[in-house]
Amino acid sequence: SQKIEQNSEALNIQEGKTATLTCNYTNYSPAYLQWYRQDPGRGPVFLLLIRENEKEKRKERLKVTFDTTLKQSLFHITASQPADSATYLCALDHQAGTALIFGKGTTLSVSS
């Protein structure tokens, strides 16, 4: 069956450390993978998109990798801050060019 799994429901780290979140998928062949941030009571906010032919993408303190052999994406936040505390969702296209299917998310807590 098709599955999108994010490594853990919760991740707790100290301020200044690098947070690494994992997204694994099964029985999908995505053309791209996206990461979103969701704060309590709000809708998800788009952060980054990485395509199947890209290995890595960066945006400020964020870095995403995409390994289509391992069927895995890693999402890194360097020099994490308490303001980075939120739930992070990965999403991929169900079939090429179609709507996104989302993982259940990982809740990141950064303590000062």
Residue 19 lies near another protein (rule: CB under 8 A): no
- The answer to whether 47 and 105 have CB atoms below 8 angstroms apart is no
Amino acid at site 35: W
Residue 28 lies near another protein (rule: CB under 8 A): no
Nearest distance in Å: CB 83, another protein: 20
Task: Select the span of 10-18, 21-29, 33-41, 57-65 touching another protein (CB under 8 A).
Answer: 33-41
User: Is the CB of 19 or the CB of 36 nearer to another protein?
Assistant: 36
Between CA 74 and CA 38 the distance in angstroms is: 17
Count CB neighbours of 102 within 10 A.
15
Backbone angles phi, psi at 39, to 5 degrees: -95, 155
Residues that bind another protein (CB under 8 A): 31-32, 34, 36, 41-46, 49, 51, 89, 93-94, 97-105
